[in-house]
Structure 1
């Protein structure tokens, strides 16, 4: 139940002594891991920490795709389509968490472009036309990722767009060639 649906409770909480509110706040924050990560970032980290986070995220993504070479082959068969979609989803989850914590749009889009370009570079045959159902699912998922990434890219300031332009063009060229855009 939401606090804004219970105005009496909200008013009572706001009228508590400061010390009581502080205790409640600390207890509540401890129950939500994402909130703890967000507060840690907002209150205790700075630009250098953000750059470290971005670097570590990119390393994790690169490692994820490097390890993916063991489970996904560039051969158009059912299992490879499913494994690649799973790999891309896992990588997207890492970026989603990063964005929720940092609210940094530039690094989010940079990493999303990186994910798609890695998938396209490493597994180009899995993006060819296919009659396999799992290929359709992968292609639909990637189309949605390309569209979302493009929309977010277009909302960035033009100076930030300029910095990402080359990798964005690489992604879009492949996507358009394979009818994924």
Structure 2
């Protein structure tokens, strides 16, 4: 239930003595892991910490693809389509969490382009036309990821777009060549 739907409760909370509000706030923050991460970032970290977070995220994404290089083969069969879609979903989740915590749009777009280009580079045969149902599910999912990434890219400042232009063009070219855009 939302606090906004109960204006009396909201008013009562706002009228509490400061010491009681502080206790409640600390208790509530402790119950929400994402809120704790967001507050930690906002209150205790600076630009250097953001750069470290971005570097760590990129390493984790690279490790994810490296660790799965033996599980997923570049052979168009059912299991490989499913595994690659699962891998991209997992990578997207890591990026989503990073963005929710840091609110850094540039690194979000950079990492989204990275995971798509990595998938395209490592598993190009899985993006060829196929009658296998799991292939079409993977292709639909990747189309949605491309659309989201392109939209977020276009919202970036033109200087930031310039920095990502080459990798964005690489992603777009592969997508067009394989009818994914």
State the TM-score, normalizing by the size of structure 2: 1.00
What is the Cα deviation at residue 31 of structure 1?
Answer: 0.1
Name the structure 2 match of 1:87: 87
- After TM superposition, the structure 1 = structure 2 runs for residues 37-52 of structure 1, keeping only pairs within 5 Å, are 37-52=37-52
Q: Where in structure 2 are there 5+ consecutive unaligned residues?
A: none
Matched residue SS, 2:70: helix
Deviations for 1:10-55, whole angstroms, at most 9, x for unmatched residues? 0000000000000000000000000000000000000000000000
What is the Cα deviation at residue 70 of structure 1?
Answer: 1.6
Runs of 4+ in 1 over 2 A off after TM superposition: none
Matched residue SS, 2:20: helix
Verify: 1:127 aligned to 2:113, yes or no: no
Q: Where in structure 1 are there 5+ consecutive unaligned residues?
A: none
Query: What is the rounded CA distance, in whole Å, between the counterparts of 1:94 and 1:160 in structure 2?
Result: 22
Query: What is the rounded CA distance, in whole Å, between the counterparts of 2:173 and 2:28 in structure 1?
Result: 47
Q: Give the number of aligned pairs.
A: 181
What is the Cα deviation at residue 71 of structure 1?
Answer: 1.1
State the TM-score, normalizing by the size of structure 1: 1.00
Name the structure 2 match of 1:9: 9
Query: What is the rounded CA distance, in whole Å, between the counterparts of 2:178 and 2:28 in structure 1?
Result: 48
Matched residue SS, 1:16: coil
Name the structure 2 match of 1:73: 73
Name the structure 2 match of 1:61: 61
Query: What is the rounded CA distance, in whole Å, between the counterparts of 1:142 and 1:58 in structure 2?
Result: 20
Query: What is the rounded CA distance, in whole Å, between the counterparts of 1:5 and 1:52 in structure 2?
Result: 40
Deviations for 1:106-157, whole angstroms, at most 9, x for unmatched residues? 0000000000000000000000000000000000000000010000000000
Name the structure 2 match of 1:28: 28
TM-align CA RMSD? 0.3
Query: What is the rounded CA distance, in whole Å, between the counterparts of 1:68 and 1:178 in structure 2?
Result: 23
Matched residue SS, 1:109: helix
Name the structure 1 match of 2:118: 118
Query: What is the rounded CA distance, in whole Å, between the counterparts of 2:151 and 2:40 in structure 1?
Result: 29
